[in-house]
Amino acid sequence: MRILVMTAVAAEQDAVLRGINNDPRFDVVAGGVGPVAAAISTTKVIAKGEYDLVISAGIGGGFIGRADVGSIVVATDIIAADLGAQTTEGFASIEQLGFGISRVPVDQELATKVADAFQKAELSTFTGPVLTLSTVTGSFETAEDLALRVEGATVEAMEGFGVALAAHDAKLPVLEIRTISNPVGPRDKSSWKIKEALQQLEKASSVLAEVL
Ligand SMILES: O=C(O)c1cccc(C(=O)CC[C@H]2O[C@@H](n3cnc4c(=O)[nH]cnc43)[C@H](O)[C@@H]2O)c1
């Protein structure tokens, strides 16, 4: 199996590389921050290689009560949560507007297998929808709006939908794995546990190499 892991930045790429420990089945690429950069870079890498699976991996924000800081989340769905329109009845996704897809399903069997392996490795693991946004949430109000709008919203990040759409376009299965660096809500960088989340990403990646 040939596996492409897309991260946003080099620090996440390095954590994954440490975890997979030179496993030749994996390519790990830092594709840039945000859904557009992620989509472009993933499309370019897929075009040059023969892959069986694409994974969006990195740190993310956990919705309070759904995913604790320091935990790992395996996506059940990858959702473009701010791709749509504000209407008098509230937000309408481009899917609801009839302009395209705003949700890419993951390979559910593989997602369950990976989540089970993380739990067996005694890593605090949750599953649920992972939201892709172009703007990091900065208030409780926005966090609550997203949680109400997307049933079971578990994580927010910025690249998954870009990676997933590129994989979907190439008819490849996709997963998204996020290690939680911060709670979704008011911007308080002092509360971000990025180093710990990167350590969890390394641990998760070592389990990935065993289970895939
Ligand atoms: O608000 C800030 O000053 C700030 C501090 C640290 C990081 C950022 C980012 O923009 C990180 C974006 C980057 O990390 C992922 N990520 C991690 N947590 C979240 C989140 O709560 N919401 C969205 N993205 C998050 C994301 O995938 C990016 O790659 C800002």
Which residue type occupies 210? E
Cβ contacts of 128 within 8 Å, gap of 6 or more:
66, 67, 73, 75, 76, 152, 153, 154, 155
Distance 50 CA to ligand 1 centre (A): 31
Which residue type occupies 133? L
Q: Whose CA is nearest to atom 22 of ligand 1?
A: 136
CB of residue 7 inside a 6 A radius of ligand 1: no
pLDDT in tens, the chain (212 residues): 999 999 999 999 999 999 999 999 999 999 999 999 999 999 999 999 999 999 999 999 999 999 999 999 999 999 999 999 999 999 999 999 999 999 999 999 999 999 999 999 999 999 999 999 999 999 999 999 999 999 999 999 999 999 999 999 999 999 999 999 999 999 888 889 999 999 999 999 999 999 99
CB of residue 184 inside a 6 A radius of ligand 1: yes
Q: Whose CA is nearest to atom 5 of ligand 1?
A: 189
One of 1.20.140.10, 3.40.640.10, 3.40.50.1580, 3.40.50.300 is the CATH number of 3-211, namely: 3.40.50.1580
Paired with 3 in beta bridges are 26, 53
* Index of the ligand 1 atom closest to the CA of residue 189: 5
What is the model's pLDDT at position 127? 98
Query: Would you list the DSSP string of 142-182?
Result: HHHHHHHHSTT--EEESSHHHHHHHHHHTT--EEEEEEEEE
What is the model's pLDDT at position 191? 86
DSSP helix/strand/coil, 99: coil
What is the model's pLDDT at position 25? 97
Query: What ipTM was reported for this prediction?
Result: 0.94
What is the model's pLDDT at position 122? 97
Q: What share of the chain is helix, strand, coil (3-state, %, to 5)?
A: 35, 30, 35
Domain coordinates in residue numbering, the chain? 3-211
